Amino acid sequence: MLNKFFNTMNRLIFSSMVLVLTSPLGAFAADQAATGGGDKPWWFWPSILFVFCFVLGVLAVMAGVGGAVLYVPLVSGFFPFHIDFVRGVGLMVALAGALAAGPGLLRRNLANLRLALPVALIASAFSVVGAVIGLRLSALDPNIIQACLGATIVGIAALLIFSKNSEKPVVTKQDAIGMALGLNGLYWDEGARESVEWKTHRTLLGLFMFILIGLLAGMFGLGAGWANVPVLNLMMGVPLKVSVATSKFLLSITDTSAAWIYMNQGCVIPLIGIPSIVGLMLGSLLGVKLLAVAKPKMIRYLVILMLLFSGLKALDKGLGLGLLG
């Protein structure tokens, strides 16, 4: 009976995604967003946003992406809010999700504090720079940010399609910086029922990459799990499970610094922020439960499609082409 319920939920989620992307309701929302949606009662958009974020939370967990990477392009495309507010709230959404996941990951020794600390310092310092640049560019012309965001989202979709993570990368020799920072460890792999030792290589290159990641996270309010994992896993040779867990934990630090910049600038409006944060967190809780019976691969492909569509829409809007409405 439980399986039947989850199968029904699976179908419902799938249908709702297709509905959001293709139905007249989606077109209506986009149209309303384009006209500002000012003729609606004040509770209309926050209520829609709460439901929308709840569904996003479910999908994000099942697709293995952060909520903010879906939130920013989709909400800026389909809701009447200015991109300044969407980016500010997007960071708060990413921050809340990362902080909520952090304790479990740290206690199970999957997220590694020693690995996270130096990386977080670089990423958070540069996310401050990214946030300042993003706000300046947005004040100059919001279309610049919209177009850059679109290009970044399309790039993220491509990264999700083409990057092949490595479960347990082979690191034959640890480099000097990794050794000096003590970037190594031991974790328990529940699936394989074995303890796995790991150490890093190409540490300096990896640390440099976090400059770029921090800049992008701050500039677009995206969170950066999509970039953290490939760098930790493929470049630095950290096992996939430790990379994913440490990346999630890292977001709680990286996004904190950028979130402060947006919050101090007044970009976090409670009427938009709280339904987004609570909706996404509740959705994530349901997503974790559904993960056991869902078909994450199909959902992942759908999320990539959604990312591609929203990225192209943002690009179209930013460049003023008007091809996608």
**Interior angle at CA 68, CA 64 and CA 74, nearest 5:** 105
Identify the residue among 168, 265, 286, 296 touching another protein (CB under 8 A).
265
Structure-token pair, residue 22 = 């293709």
Interaction of residue 258 with another protein, rule CB under 8 A = yes
> Quick one: which of 160, 164, 155 has its CA closest to 73?
155
What is the rounded CA–CA span in Å between residue 314 and residue 73?
7
Interaction of residue 45 with another protein, rule CB under 8 A = yes
Which residues inside 160-179 make contact with another protein, applying CB under 8 A? none
Is the CB of 136 or the CB of 289 nearer to another protein?
Answer: 136
Identify the residue among 9, 99, 285, 288 touching another protein (CB under 8 A).
99
Stretch that binds another protein, among 23-31, 108-116, 152-160, 316-324 (CB under 8 A): 108-116
Stretch that binds another protein, among 69-77, 87-95, 158-166, 303-311 (CB under 8 A): 87-95
CB of 276 vs another protein, minimal distance in Å: 11
DSSP collapsed to 3 states, 206-230: HHHHHHHHHHHHHHHCCCCHHHHHH
What is the rounded CA–CA span in Å between residue 15 and residue 114?
43
Which residues inside 267-286 make contact with another protein, applying CB under 8 A? 267-274, 277-278, 281
Interaction of residue 240 with another protein, rule CB under 8 A = no
Contact 278, 51 (CB under 8 A): no
Interaction of residue 96 with another protein, rule CB under 8 A = yes
CB of 283 vs another protein, minimal distance in Å: 14
Interaction of residue 78 with another protein, rule CB under 8 A = no
Helix axes 142-162, 83-107, angle to 10 degrees: 40
